[in-house]
Amino acid sequence: MHVLVSFPHPLGGPGIGTTAWNQAVSLAGAGARVTVVCSRVARSLPPDSGITVWSSMGPVRPRMVGIERAHDWHDRFTARVTRRVRPDVVHCWPRAVLHTALAARTVGAAVVREAPSPYTRVAIDQAAAAWAQMGLQPPAGHFHRPSPRSVALEDEEFAVVDLVLVGSPAARASFERAPFPVRVDVVPYGYDPTRFRPSVDRVPLDPPTAVFVGRCEPAKGIHVLAAAWSSARLPEGARLLLCGDVRADVRHRLAALFADPRVEHTSHRPDVESVLARADVLVHPSFTEGSALAVYEAIGSGVVPLVSDASGAPGGVGLVHRTGETAQLAAHLEDALGDVVAFTGLRQTVLDEAPSWSWSQAGARLIDSYERAMPSSWRT
């Protein structure tokens, strides 16, 4: 199977750049022939991967020409590459789909579109509700406050592809709100076992430590975590590590959390594995999520996830609270950090399940999804 991955951003950059990089590498590892079209490569690919890379922007940075123009150029460039290399499947990422999808049709390729978040209009509403709970709204330019034009473009993209890929059942359910039929498949993400592995140096629960990884903002449930942390009856010495950037207005409203001597805050760090190595549990009380990479990385690190039912986390590991339910999250913190027997059982399940959620497993699942997108006569 020949897969062309279209990613209109730096491949291997933070966030979705890491996801796209791992998808490409895991697809190659699963036996697919992979061609990647990206704006540029931010992280070198393994030399033995066999992946062919086309750079749509070369040395030009998108902001030099304007983001929308750069995305349009990438889309048109990828369409030309598609007609030239004639793949079996074209895997598009947002904002650069329409011309590429048309080209894929001309060469008989199936077209799938990555949806790293729930259905756009649902995600906007979910995020707005979370910000409103803190008396705020997403700031101008925030991805949860897009222009009407951007929202309309997302709908156009969903409508022209054969299949939309999401990371969780919760994200799939959100597409029921779309005003047109959308075929959706769940393909969970993964973690890199060469980076994320259980710590051999740290004694569990010594001291009992929770970690939050991500933007410290309402859509990620930071205010729910603050309330749950302050109300939970935790053992002496318990601590909370916050790893993520925070806006001044959010910090002001959560001043008590950041002033708590049990809480340590650092801004975004690229070495998330070193943060997870200090923790027993990951708290991820998100209000809207496709499938959070931090949860997979915690699982790979032997860290128990305490997540909301909107987090897009893999099922069967950790503890899940209803989105926004402070009391339930507080109880989960008490169980995981204050009950050695309960924690030991939870952690053992994480350790047992971790191999199922590596990126190599994700690559195999992705190929299965591509085959579901293709007409049965194409399958080999």
Q: What is the pLDDT of residue 62?
A: 76
Strand order across the beta sheet in which 110-114 lies: 52-55, 33-41, 2-11, 89-92, 110-114, 163-166, 184-186
Q: What is the pLDDT of residue 132?
A: 97
In a domain, 198, yes or no: no
Q: What is the DSSP letter of 176?
A: G
In a domain, 196, yes or no: no
Distance CA 26, CA 11 (A): 14
Distance CA 16, CA 24 (A): 12
pTM of this structure:
0.94
Is residue 366 located within the same domain as residue 353? Answer: no
Is residue 66 located within the same domain as residue 15? Answer: yes
Residues 156-170 as b or e (16 or more Cβ within 10 Å = b): ebbbbbbbbbbbbeb
In a domain, 199, yes or no: no
* Contact criterion met (CB below 8 Å) for 30 and 373: no
Residues 207-218 as b or e (16 or more Cβ within 10 Å = b): ebbbbbbbbbbb
- Residues shown for the chain: 380
- Number of domains composing the chain: 2
Is residue 348 located within the same domain as residue 369? Answer: no
In a domain, 372, yes or no: yes
* Contact criterion met (CB below 8 Å) for 191 and 103: no
Provide long-range contacts, Cβ within 8 A and 24+ apart, for 181-186: 182/119, 182/158, 184/115, 185/369, 185/372, 185/373
Domain that holds residue 306: 209-357
Q: What is the DSSP letter of 242?
A: E
Is residue 96 located within the same domain as residue 186? Answer: yes
* Contact criterion met (CB below 8 Å) for 156 and 98: yes
pLDDT of 173-213, one tens digit each? 999 999 999 999 999 999 999 999 999 889 999 999 999 99
Is residue 164 located within the same domain as residue 222? Answer: no
pLDDT of 78-98, one tens digit each? 999 999 999 999 999 999 999
Is residue 177 located within the same domain as residue 240? Answer: no
Q: For residue 39, which of 119, 104, 96 has the smallest C-alpha distance?
A: 96
Q: How far is CA 307 from CA 218, 244, 366, in A?
A: 15, 17, 24
Is residue 340 located within the same domain as residue 369? Answer: no
* Contact criterion met (CB below 8 Å) for 191 and 167: no
Which residue do the tokens 């801004």 mark? 267
Is residue 101 located within the same domain as residue 233? Answer: no
Is residue 126 located within the same domain as residue 214? Answer: no
Distance CA 361, CA 171 (A): 20
Return the CA Rg of the chain.
21
Q: What is the pLDDT of residue 378?
A: 47
Q: Which amino acid is at 353?
A: E
Distance CA 301, CA 277 (A): 7
Q: Which residues of the chain have pLDDT under 50?
A: 377-380
Residues 263-289 as b or e (16 or more Cβ within 10 Å = b): bebeeeeeebbebbbbbbbbbbbbbbb
Distance CA 321, CA 329 (A): 6
In a domain, 181, yes or no: yes
In a domain, 271, yes or no: yes
CB atoms within 10 A of CB 340: 12
* Contact criterion met (CB below 8 Å) for 75 and 98: yes
Is residue 115 located within the same domain as residue 65? Answer: yes
Distance CA 283, CA 2 (A): 39
Q: For residue 369, which of 115, 35, 95 has the smallest C-alpha distance?
A: 115
Is residue 350 located within the same domain as residue 370? Answer: no
- CATH number of the domain enclosing 287: 3.40.50.2000
Is residue 340 located within the same domain as residue 367? Answer: no
Q: For residue 216, which of 170, 146, 281, 263 has the smallest C-alpha distance?
A: 263
CB atoms within 10 A of CB 244: 18
Q: What is the DSSP letter of 225?
A: H
